[in-house]
Structures are given as structure tokens and as C-alpha cells.
Structure 1
Amino acid sequence: MTKKLRMLNILKWHPKKNNIPAVPTFKQNLQERRFVDAGKHLITREDRLFELKQDGIGSKMKLVEEEEDSEARLAKDYEDWLESVKQTLENSLDFQSPEEQEVLKEAVQAILQEEEQDMRWEGFQEKERPPWRPRRCKQNHEDLLKRLVQRRMEEAQLDSSIEINSSLQQSIICKAKRLKEDLMKVATWVSSCYPEQENVCQLYATLYHKTFSARLREITENTLCDEDCVLLLQLVNEDYPNILNGKMLKEVIDHSKLDPLLPEDKIAPLEQQFLTIEEREVTKCLHKILEREETAWKEGELPQLRDQVYCCDQAIDVIQCFHKHVEYAQKVLGDETKAQRITCQMRHFLTDYKAFHAKAMKSKQANTEAVLMVNLSCLIQCRDYITNKAHLFPEDVKTDCLSLLATMIKGSHYHFTSNMLKELKDLYRKVGSSEWLKDSEVVCEELLAKLDRHIQKFNNLDKMCCQELLGGMHKEFLAEYVRKMMKQKIKLSDKTQQQMAASSLCINSERIHTYFTAAGSNMDWLKDILPNLAGLLKLQDPNTIKLELASLMKLYPDLSECHISAWLRLKGNLSPSDLKKILETITFSKDQLREMQDSLQFGKSFFSIVRVK
């Protein structure tokens, strides 16, 4: 027992060794993937070896052999180190755990450390620096990433759940998907392993962009079917920009620094092919709509009523067909201007529509009136669409389309208003006659009563179309009324008769205006025409008449000398000399006439449709 205790005491008395942790060797660091520390080992060794060379110690054979062995070992260790770093980088887009992220950070820092060592020897002559410098680790890193990207794009597999017939489409879609997924990985966590100044997101974006672009260029070397052509354009102009402009990638990638995915000489033929496809589709669609309407008209069909209003399905179909294709072309081409070529098909369609419209107006079929009403609604809706969407059309196409529509709308209005005037022709003879002077209210009531029976058929028109048509009829009705007054079937010989006629004109004006506005006309400014003309009848002093005329000519730029002369001749007590003096003051220069014509396009044009001899 005593011996045992003595032995223990001896062990306790024995001094302990220092517990200083051993410095990890190069191989231990490499095994643990501590690439920065392993790299420092290599740099220290290469500095020592180069110093030995510079000091000339290698003159002795034995030391020379040792140096050569050391350089060989250094080269071997460096290759092992580089291989391990490369493997880390090659797998970087598959890493997921925080531990793997730390390893990638080590690899990146080790490469940058090597780059710094290269920079130390910049400016030295070849003999003055180690023969293994520069190692160009950073350039090798970029080359490695380039190969990595190319490999991943080549190995991209399409989701088996997606059904696509074309192998070319499968190739394009799976590569685009891989590109998006990998760039998201880079932005999400790979970028945190690199210093910010390295801009690794932009580097990866450039590499993926160039690889994808090269593949797409290869594809365009062959003639593509229509479906493949559309897919490729949609990818280049819509899908790919959407990837780069995604919320996360937009913040870390400057896509303005990337070259076009396809150069102009490659994409132009695809655009031409696509536009030809779309033009063909639009033409076919619009032709079917017109053919359907023409067939229905020839077979005597009446337009359908919905809530007691004629349905204008052709307007909806035309606008939807046209707009759908133009909007689609803008997305696929990524350029509103290029898509404008399709809009020429609207001009061709309206030219054909005009021929159909002309045939319908000449026809005596029972359904013609109803068909023309629906056509009018279609024309107005198309006009409003082109006006509101003017940016879709080249200027010449827009002008031609609006001109065609204006001609057809005017033709429809003329058809309905001329029928109205024919029916009222006998009653209009009374306007401005002695019978009218005796009892103008009865004459006006008779006109409106017969007019009412005529326009009942417009009750089935949609509100917008009815408003415009009745506005035109309101104007024509009033113009014919004024024209009949200017025929001078009566002479208002004294002030009393002139005031009585003026009062009748004002009363008639109010009844006419009330009737038309109740029916749907929105031409509110017409209510002042007859009262303003009545005011001229009441005036007796020639100078006052001149002043009043000057005011009226500003209100109505198309009030001509012929109109004024015809109206003032109703005043039987106005001497020929006074009339001549008044008319002499009404002079227009050519410039004033030109300005007057320009203002008619925007101002209140009325008297231009009052035809007087």
C-alpha cells in the first residue's frame, strides 16, 4: 500500500508539459477545407524558396537538389489546394447548408489572397520574380465559373409534368428555367460569400447571358416553324426581361450592361415571320366577321334585340379580334412601333366593309334599315376605338381608317336624314309661307308629329349611336327649316310683321329643341340659331344690323354673304341701298376665308349645310 502511494506522489510531482495547441499543418488545413490558412502556408513556403534562390545558396549540389525537391513538393501541394478549391466552386450552386456556405467563403477568400500575392510581383521582370508567379487564380476562377455555367445549362432538364411537343421548345424552356433558378441562388446566398466589390451577381448574370445567347444564336441558324418562332421572340422580348427585372434580381443585376440576347440581324427575320403570321390571323378573323354579317343580311335576317336594343356583336368582335392581336404583338415584339404593322389590316378591313355598306344602302330588302342601324353602331364604336387608341396606329393608317369610317357614318346619316326630309317634304313647303305667318305653331306641330312617327324606328338603337344620329337629324331638320325661310315666299313689310315672325321663330325653336333633346340629341348649341336670326328681323337701324351681323359671324364662321342676303330680304322695309351697304361691309380676305374653313372643323358649323341660291 505504501509503495502505491509513493508511486502516485512521484507521478504528481512530475512536471506537466505546456498545453500549447499544435499549429495545423498544410494538409490538416486542406483536409478541413480551411483554404485561407492552407494558402498562407503555400505563400510562406514559396517566399522562403524564392529567397534561397536569390541568395545563391543553391550553388551547392546537395542544396540544389533539396530546393528542387521543395519546389516539386510546393507545386504538388498547390495543385492539391487548387483542386479542392475548384471542387468547392464547382459545387457552389448546389450548396444549401450554412456549413457549405462557410466553405465557399473560404474558397473565395483564398482566391483573393492568391490574387494579392500575384499583385506583389507586378512590375518585376520575369527573372526577378518566382517562376510560378503570377498564378492568375482570379482569372482561373472566372474561367471555372464559365465552364460551370455552360455545364449546368447543358445539363438542364425540363420538368416532366410540362407537355411540350417540340424538342427545340423543351431545350429553350429548360435552359431559361435553369438560368432563372441559378441566378436566384446566386442573389440569395452565393453573393454573401463574395466581397461586395467583386459584384458576383453581375458576373454570373453575364456568364449565363452569354451562354444562353450563344445557344439561341445557334437555334436561329435554322428555319423555325411558326410556333418556335413565336416562343423565341416571346422569350427574348418578354420572358427574359421579366426574369432580369424580377424583384430580387433587379436590385443586383444591371441588365443594361448586357448585350442583346439576340442581335438585330438574327431577330429581324423572326420578327418579320411573326408579323406575317399575325397579319394572316387578323385578316382571317376580320374577314370571317364581315362574311358572317353579309351572309345574314343577304338571307334577310334581322339583328338580335337585347333589352329592346339592337346587339352590335360585330363591333365587339372586330375590336376584340384586332386589339387582342395588336396587344399580343406588342408583348412578343417588345416594341409598340413594330406591332403597328398589324394595324394596316384594319384599313383593309374597313375598305371591304365600305363596299358591303354601299351595297346595303342601295338594297331594298326588308331588313336593310335595321342592318344599317346596327352597322352605324359598329362604325361609331370602331371610330371611337381608333380615336382612343391612336397610339397603336401609324399616322397614315389612323388617318385612312378614320376617313373611311367618317365616309360610312356620313353615308348612314345621309340615308336616314334624307328619308326624313322626303317624308316631311310636303309639310316643309308651309314654312316661311303666309300660312306659316298666320299660325306657325300649327305648322311646327305638324312637322314634329310626322317626324316623331319617322324616328320611332330608332328606339332600338343603342344610346351612343342614337345620340349621334339624332344630333345629325336635329341639325338637318333645323337647316331645312332655315332654308325654307330663306326662300322668301313672304315679305315682312313692316316692323309689326317682323316682330311677329321673330316671336314665332323663337317659339318654334324652343319646341323643336325640346323635342330633339328629349329624343336623344345632345346638340344643345342649336337652340340659339333661330332666336339669333329672329333678332335680325326685329332690328330696324342698318348700323345696328351691321353690329349684330358682326357678332353672328364670330359665332357662326360659315354664315356667308348669300345667307345674310337671303335672310335680310325677308325685311320688306329694308331699302336696296341699305341692304347693299350692309353687304359691302361683309368682306373677307383669302386668309380670313382660310381661317374660317379651319375653324369649321372645330367650331359650330351650321350654315354650310343650308343650301341657298
Structure 2
Amino acid sequence: LLRWVNEYYPGIFQKPELSSEIDCAALGKLLPKELLEPLEEQYLSKQKTDLSDYMNQVLQLEDRKWTSGEEAKREDGCYTSPLAYDIIQGINGMVKAAEKVTGNRQKAQTITHQLPGFMTKYKHLQSVLQVNKQISHIKASLCCVEQFRDVLLGKNHLFPHEVKEECLGLLMDIEQSAHSCLLIPIHKILKPQYKKLGTTDWLRKNGFEKLWRSLEVELLKFQDVPHLGRQELIGRLHQEVTEEYVRRLLRTDVKLKDREQQQRAYTIVTQNAESLNALFSRMGSKQDW
């Protein structure tokens, strides 16, 4: 009934043979407002419930895979998950249908008010994965984050502003948490090399080489992270390693007694910085200072 009232009925008068003869706007709606609005509210309420149920089913399906210990699937060598794609397709189809039925985009968008609640559940389950060190699924989640972010930023017609902003914030939390889970172990591995930075041995022997080699080994382990997620992840590690490098140098108590030592220290720092940037750039970082 709603689709007939809001889509088919107005469409009849847009036909060339009628549009020039009949003023559709003057005719008004087929049903009066007091009858139309309750029907629309009932329809939208049902759509909200259906979308919420659908999203929960998708999440439960993924959760069963996680709890079973099943490894995430790979596509083109990278871990991936169908969760974001399935949710996005569901939202896209239901919002478009609701817009046709109600004839109003803003009303249709209201069915996505369930999305932040879904994201909150997803965030909680991701934290469980991180506690359990289910690395393949954590890497796959970065693919989901990018897919969700792309649709939130690129398809504004699907979401009210407040829904978009809240979801983007939740996605940022999920991404940052996943990054920390993947990067903290690397910093622990690098800690012995960090300790040598800014020391007399570092100045004499340039102990940076071991740090560089360890970094290269660890960075290669991220080749199974989807491209955009990998770029963000490696970019964050690039920033954190650089910050740690600078922090160690600032804390050094090495005395540069003459110009030769000062020049050597300058050369080493310059070479180290160039080597770090070259390594991270080769691995996908877009950080630039």
C-alpha cells in the first residue's frame, strides 16, 4: 500500500501523456496524513527490527567461526571476512527499499539507527579475539574496518549524520585496539635493540643494523593483512618506532667531546633515519615527515 501511495501513484502522473495535463502536486497524496504517517511508522519499525535481526545473525555466524578456533579465510593471500560486506549489502538494499516505499530519504535513513549498537557488539567481540590472540581474525577485522569506513564516508545517503559519526568513532576504537594487539609484541621483540640506541656502542659500531633487520622480519609478517589495513598498520608502527628512536636519543648520556664525534653522530642519525624511512616506505607506510 505504501509503495503504491508514494511511488506508483505519483509515477503515473509523471508519464509524458499525463504530466502536461495534470498537476500532480495539486492533487496531493493519495492518503491523508493522519492515515499515511502511522502506516509509515509501522513499516519503518518493522524494517528496523528486520535489519537488526539480520545484522545480529551475521555477527553470530562470524562469532561461531571465532569460537570454534577456525582460522580466517584468505583472498589473494590476505586474511578477510565477509562480515562487513554482508552488513553493507543488507543496509544498502533495505534503505533503498525504504526510500522508495516512504518516498522520503530521511525517514528511510532512520532504520540504520541500529548500526551503532551492532558496532558496539562487534567491538566487544573483537576485544575477546584480542585477548585470545586469534591473530588471523584480528588481521581480517582490519579489512572490515576499511570496508565499513568506506561506505560510511562514501555513501552519505544511507546514514543520518549522527549514526555516521558514532560508527566512525567505534571503528577507530576497533582499529586502534587491533593495531595495539598486533604491534605491542613487536616492540617487545625490538626492546633489546632499542636499549642500544644512543649508547657508546651504538655510536662506535652503529648497532642500528640489528634493529633494522628485526624490523624487516616483523614487517614481512604483515603481508597477509589486507592492503588498506596494512598501510594504516605499518604507518602506525613507522610512527611508533621513529618516536622510540628519538626518545632514546634524547635520553642518552653520551658526551660528544669533539667535532669528529659530533659529525659521526650526525651521520649515523641521518643514515638511520633514511634507512628506517626506506624500509617502511617499501613495506607500505605513507608516513612522511
TM-score (norm 2): 0.94
Does the CA contact (< 8 Å) of 1:237 and 1:331 recur in 2?
Answer: yes
Q: Deviations over 1:417-470 (max 9, x none)?
A: 212111111111111111111132xx3321121122223222112211111111
Paired position in structure 2 for 1:422: 188
Quick one: which of 141, 144, 151 aligns to 1:378? 144
Q: 1:495 to 1:237 in 2, by over 3 A?
A: farther
- Structure 1 residue runs of 4 or more that deviate by more than 6 Å after TM superposition: none
CA distance in 1, matches of 2:128, 2:80: 21
Q: Shift of the alpha carbon at 1:340? A: 2.0
CA distance in 2, matches of 1:309, 1:288: 25
Paired position in structure 2 for 1:471: 235
Secondary structure of the corresponding residue to residue 222 of structure 2: helix
TM alignment of 1:92-491, pairs within 5 A: 232-364=1-133, 368-440=134-206, 443-491=207-255
Matched, 1:497 2:261: yes
TM alignment of 1:67-86, pairs within 5 A: none
CA distance in 1, matches of 2:208, 2:10: 68
CA distance in 2, matches of 1:292, 1:385: 22
Q: Shift of the alpha carbon at 1:246? A: 2.3
Secondary structure of the corresponding residue to residue 481 of structure 1: helix
Structure ranking higher on relative contact order (CA contacts 8 Å, 6+ apart) = 2
Q: 1:277 to 1:492 in 2, by over 3 A?
A: same
Does the CA contact (< 8 Å) of 1:372 and 1:412 recur in 2?
Answer: yes
CA distance in 2, matches of 1:339, 1:380: 24
Q: Shift of the alpha carbon at 1:237? A: 1.5
CA distance in 2, matches of 1:369, 1:312: 13
Q: Shift of the alpha carbon at 1:391? A: 4.1
Q: Deviations over 1:523-575 (max 9, x none)?
A: 2x23xxxxxxxxxxxxxxxxxxxxxxxxxxxxxxxxxxxxxxxxxxxxxxxxx
AA of the residue aligned to 2:274: E
Does the CA contact (< 8 Å) of 2:92 and 2:158 recur in 1?
Answer: no
Q: Deviations over 1:308-353 (max 9, x none)?
A: 2223211211111122111211121111111121111111100111
Secondary structure of the corresponding residue to residue 252 of structure 1: coil
AA of the residue aligned to 1:448: W
Q: 1:502 to 1:251 in 2, by over 3 A?
A: farther
CA distance in 2, matches of 1:347, 1:297: 22
CA distance in 2, matches of 1:251, 1:494: 92
Does the CA contact (< 8 Å) of 2:123 and 2:174 recur in 1?
Answer: yes
Identity of aligned residues (%): 34
CA distance in 2, matches of 1:439, 1:381: 46
Does the CA contact (< 8 Å) of 2:112 and 2:159 recur in 1?
Answer: yes
Q: Shift of the alpha carbon at 1:409? A: 0.7
Secondary structure of the corresponding residue to residue 432 of structure 1: coil
RMSD over aligned CA atoms reads 1.6
Quick one: which of 279, 282, 285 aligns to 1:515? 279
Secondary structure of the corresponding residue to residue 492 of structure 1: coil
Q: 1:494 to 1:252 in 2, by over 3 A?
A: farther
Does the CA contact (< 8 Å) of 1:329 and 1:339 recur in 2?
Answer: yes
CA distance in 2, matches of 1:425, 1:305: 32
CA distance in 2, matches of 1:506, 1:247: 73
Q: Shift of the alpha carbon at 1:491? A: 2.8
Q: Shift of the alpha carbon at 1:488? A: 2.0
TM-score (norm 1): 0.46
Unaligned runs of at least 5 residues, structure 2: none
AA of the residue aligned to 2:239: K
